[in-house]
Structure 1
Amino acid sequence: MSEQSVTYKDLRFHSPAEQKRKQRPKHTRIIETSEQEITYSDLKFHTPSKQQRQQRPTTAERKDSPPSSPWLLSMILGLLCLALLVTAGVLGAKFLQASLQVRRQKEELIEKQAILKNFTQLEETLKNCTQQRDVLQANNTELSKAVKREGDKCSSCPEGWIQYRGTCYHFTHERSSWQKSREYCSSQGSRLLRIENKEELGFIKSHASFHWIGLSRTAIGHGWVWQDDTAHPTDFFPVKIQEPGEKCALFKAGEAFSHNCTGQYRYICEKRATRQKTTELAQGR
């Protein structure tokens, strides 16, 4: 039904005459009304304007739709927007943190790869250096042997002396005291044995047995010295004391023992081997 305005006006009706009521048929139901004056209002319909229809909500809308509040709707929308912004911020922070962590792990992986590469190169360099060292040591050993062989060829020792690495050794069969042994070695242009290294010690062990060597001490409790007054290192090989008053060293079975200097024992003299050219030049003169 279209919206229209209604205008009411009064209408007046009077009761009909008695005669007219008698003339109606009997079968007709007559509704009698009291003789009253009935008033009706005139109805006028007006079409409202479009603006009035928009401003005046229909009855159905007023009954079905709850009253709306713009500020409440705005507040709800604002809260939703705030929640979305907070969520977006949290997700953005998580993403940034994850990105930084991935980047840091990638940098650490690159550094580890670089370190591993350098370590591999160092291992390879060390391996090459070790191989070169072994080659040089082998060449040095061969060169030392060659020099020794050539030196032995170019040098000589007196008859009855044994040459070892450019040194001549004389293991006597005569027996004498420590002092007499020292004097005899001096007369031969040599000295009583002085052991200077482990190689020489090994060589002497294979030949000496109960021989005087150039090691002595001046008094009880004093250190042992060689013939040239050089102190003997005790960590090289010790001198085992047999009697407190013994001052001279006797070499036997690869060890040194104190002994009475007047004892009669064999002895060992040593001197440098002479060059053949020097000997030949001396003979030519």
Structure 2
Amino acid sequence: MELDNFYQNVGRRNIKDTFKPRTLNHRQDEERRGSRCLVLMTVCLGLICVLLLVIIIFITAERESLVKSYKNSVEEINQTINSLQENYTELTQKKLELESKVTSLSDDLTREASKRGYFFFISHELKSWSESRQYCRDRGADLVIINTEEKQRFISSFAKERVWIGLSDIENKHRMIWVDNSTLNQGFWFKYEPNNYEGNEDCIELNPTKDPVNNWNDQPCSHKRKGICEK
């Protein structure tokens, strides 16, 4: 009996001694694994922080670049607007100066014409032949009739561009008629004119740029010209 108790006690101590070191090793392994996980987590968090920092730096740099680009674009637009405004002001001033010169020339023409017994004025707008005639008629006049070389030279001396005169064959093809229904007796044509090019040139313009006398040319009536009115 006593022997049995002895062996049982010895066996229990041996079992306890056997399991005791294994439990310590298991805890140490768990601690090591926990330490490794902690290290990995720390490393991962560090990498994430570095990555976030890089992203933030990149976004900040891009934002600054966009802001700078936007400011440069705004400055360029403002400079363009200012330049356009200056050009517009300059063009407006030149337009006013030209209108003043045209008005002055028209007044000179009127004064000189009055001395010779004529009363002329030039329209300020580009219009078709019919529109130019209506412009004159609205002002108690009509497109000019030129029946002498003196009158032809006089008008050519004042007209600085192509202008409509009161001659056409709109109503009578191949027969030139003045606006007062009188027949053309003497013409002051360019060489080889009138030629009725493509069968569509029924109205007569005066072009003083080449010859002060022989400078008439037939043109399509829809072309835009100023007109010389006679009252």
Q: Return the TM-score normalized by structure 2.
A: 0.48
Considering fraction of residues, name the structure with more helix.
2
Which structure has more relative contact order (CA 8 Å, sep 6+)? It is 2
Structure richer in strand, relative to its length: 1
Q: TM-score, normalised by structure 1?
A: 0.40
